[in-house]
Amino acid sequence: MAESRTFTGSLAATAVGVYLLVIAGATAAITDAVTACTSWPLCRGPVTLSNPSLLIASGHRLTAAVVGVLALVTVVLGLRAATRRRVKAALLAGLALYPIQVALGAFVATSGATGRLPGAHLAVGMAIFGVFVLALAWHLEAETGSDDEEPVDDLSPAPMPDESDGEDGSVPRAALSTRERVLGTAYAYFRLMKPRLMWLLCLVAAAGMALNAGQSLTVRTVLLTLGGGVLAIGASGTFNHVLERDIDKRMDRTADRPIATHQIPVRNATTFGVALAAAAMALFWQVNVLAAALGLTAILFYSVVYTLVLKPNTVQNTVIGGAAGALPALIGWTAIDGTIGLAGLALAGVIFLWTPAHFYNLALAYKDDYEAGGFPMMPVVRGETETRKHIVYYLGATLIASGILAALTSLGWVYALTSATLGGVFLWAVVRLHREQTEEAAFRAFHASNAYLGLLLIAIVADALVL
Ligand code: HEM
Ligand SMILES: CC(C)=CCC/C(C)=C/CC/C(C)=C/COP(=O)(O)OP(=O)(O)O
């Protein structure tokens, strides 16, 4: 057992180390570094702070050597550990690819080649990272998984709670002062807008704008786009509350929502949602037509496609639904010039892949609730072990997508360091989730997911606007 844990730790550290190498290589900084250091294996010249390119190039080589040794130790530990054959096969694949990667790196450095070879160096780096992540996901499954979970085949929602006794613990409205009633109602409308989601989604749109505009962002575009975004999220959230009002009553987490408790009548909430959507469209329209079209698509996708079609019917609901959350990246990009660019699509890809790694933690924490609501969420239908494994898969995929984004743009070392450090923290939280399997661990991993994306997006804005 202790041996297996040592192997897990070493494997996770290797994956993070390889990622650090990949993301450093993918950034513009290392591209400059290629020209600064054309000798191999060591760089010629004094490695000092006044020569950052040389410092980065030497740091890359030193890290490659250290991670190489770590990878070797991990493979030896893994081959001796009582784990699954596919874990060992993945480790051997990583071990076989490592010297190829070193040779490619040496060739790129000494020939100063541009184009395909650096591209191949990046691709093989990502492949090595990918196989170590797979090995980690499969080993954690073997180490911490259980077969005795019984995924639910027949999902019928729990019976509706009896509302006739009216004993919900709330103070009767008649006992409140007018001021308290007005404030209470205003707060209820505010809650309909799902305000907790807004900061991160606004950061997504801000990063999309910053990637496309760099330092020539105008205050008007930023205000109209983020204002439209906040209103669009508010509208979608409101429609979601309206459409799920009955199911919300069956789940502890949502039973106190304003429409489920009849604090806000359905008709008023619907009018509020339509007004918010119209206001969002009015703002997006002033940005440009494509921003407005994408904004409307996001609202309809979340409110209708996700809430009504996907969420109650398929285990892939939140995977496909992640597309709605990824659209703000494109809205931000298109707000600048009415186009959709490759880097904007790559940013949307990061958000899309991050969404399951974010949400599956909550799906684990609220599994019983989702089951009571009759939703086919991953832990309910496929079990907790499978869900935890999928979190590792999607986390790995998110990190690879962040690397692709770095390679497509001129984002620098702040972005690279943020992605590697916070990616490492996120992975650490997910490893702990596998071991502890508690609600607390699931929330820790959920918060780590938000911290990863939040800081990554801030790093994009900082890299694009300031550095
Ligand atoms: C299908 C996709 C998604 C699902 C099912 C989902 C689900 C959830 C749920 C159930 C919550 C808890 C809300 C609550 O209890 O009030 C939550 C919180 C949150 N989500 Fe997501 N989410 C998704 C996508 C996204 C996206 C794309 C973003 C932003 C990029 C995002 C950002 C957040 C934030 C910032 C929070 C609040 C965190 C906090 O309060 O600490 N989510 N999400
Ligand atoms: C610009 C724009 C409109 C963007 C929309 C972005 C968006 C909808 C992101 C997804 C957020 C989401 C689905 C959260 C809650 O899930 P849930 O509704 O399943 O959670 P619940 O169980 O709390 O209702």
Report the candidate in 138, 108, 100, 86 with the shortest Cα–Cα distance to residue 38: 108
Tokens at 93, concatenated: 């694949």
For residue 97, give the 3-state DSSP assignment: helix
Instruction: Using the predicted structure, report yes or no on whether residue 107 has a pLDDT greater than 90.
Output: no
CA pair distance 411, 409, nearest whole angstrom: 6
Q: Which of 197, 305, 360 to mutate to test the pocket of ligand 2 (most atoms within 8 A of CB)?
A: 197
Confidence check: pLDDT of 467 > 80: no
CA 104 – CA 160 distance, rounded (Å)? 63
Which of the four pLDDT bands, split at 50, 70 and 90, describes residue 148?
A: low
pLDDT, one tens digit per residue, over 6-33 is 999 999 999 999 999 999 888 877 767 7
Q: Tell me what the mean pLDDT of segment 374-400 comes to.
A: 97
Per-residue pLDDT at 244 exceeds 90:
yes
Does position 328 have pLDDT exceeding 60, yes or no? Answer: yes
Please, what's the largest Cα pairwise distance for the chain?
Answer: 82
Among all bound ligands, the one having the nearest atom to the CA of 317 is 1
Mean pLDDT within 155-180: 66
Identify whether the C-beta of residue 297 lies closer than 8 Å to the C-beta of residue 263. Answer: no
Residue 432 CA to ligand 2 center (angstroms) comes to: 27
Give the pLDDT confidence score for residue 8 in this predicted structure.
95
Instruction: Look at residue 166 and tell me whether its pLDDT is greater than 60.
Output: no
Q: How confident is the model at residue 265 (pLDDT cuts 50, 70, 90)?
A: very high
| Cα distance between residue 336 and residue 271, in whole Å | 31
**Residue 146: pLDDT band with limits 50, 70, 90:** confident
Q: Of 128-132, 161-165, 405-409, which range is least confident?
A: 161-165
Does 277 contact ligand 2 (Cβ within 6 A)?
no
DSSP string, 308-346: IIITTT-TTHHHHHHHHHHHHHHHHHHHHHS---HHHHH
CB 271 within 8 A of CB 277: no
Question: Mean pLDDT across the stretch 449-462?
Answer: 97
Quickly state the pLDDT bin for 369 (edges 50, 70, 90): very high
Residue owning the nearest CA to atom 26 of ligand 1: 325
- Range with lowest mean pLDDT among 61-75, 134-148, 168-182: 168-182
| Ligand 2 neighbour 208 (Cβ under 6 A) | no
Residue 337 has pLDDT above 70, yes or no: yes
Separation of CA 325 and ligand 2 centre (Å): 7
Contact criterion met (CB below 8 Å) for 428 and 12: yes
351: CB partners within 8 A, 6+ apart: 204, 322, 325, 326, 328, 329, 453
* Side chain identity at residue 37, one-letter code: C
Cα 64 to ligand 1 centroid, rounded to whole Å = 36
Q: Strand, helix or coil at 79?
A: helix
Which ligand lies nearest the alpha carbon of 443? 1
Ligand 2 atom closest to residue 236's alpha carbon, by position in its atom list:
3
CB 122 within 8 A of CB 22: yes
The band of 57, judged by pLDDT with boundaries at 50, 70 and 90, is: confident
- Our answer on whether the CB atom of 328 is closer than 6 Å to any ligand 2 atom is yes
Residue 169 confidence (pLDDT): 47
Checking if the pLDDT of 154 tops 70, the result is no
pLDDT interval class at 446 (50, 70, 90): very high
Cβ(328)–Cβ(347) under 8 Å? Answer: no
Q: What is residue 147's predicted lDDT score, i.e. its pLDDT?
A: 67
Q: Is the CB of 192 under 6 A from ligand 2?
A: no
Would the CB of 325 count as within 6 Å of ligand 2?
yes
How many Å lie between the centroid of ligand 1 and the Cα of residue 87?
Answer: 32
Average pLDDT of span 149-169? 61
Q: What is the mean pLDDT of the chain?
A: 91
ipTM above 0.85, yes or no: yes
Task: Please name the amino acid found at residue 87.
Answer: V
pLDDT number for residue 110:
82
pLDDT tens, residue by residue, 195-206: 999 999 999 999
Q: Give the pLDDT confidence of 170-225 residue by residue, as tens digits.
A: 556 667 888 888 999 999 999 999 999 999 999 999 999 999 997 788 999 999 99
pLDDT at res. 167? 46
CA terminus-to-terminus distance, the chain: 47
Q: Are 293 and 353 in contact (CB under 8 A)?
A: no
SS3 411: coil
Please state which of the ranges 144-148, 180-184, 340-344 shows the lowest mean pLDDT.
Answer: 144-148
Look up the pTM and report it.
0.93
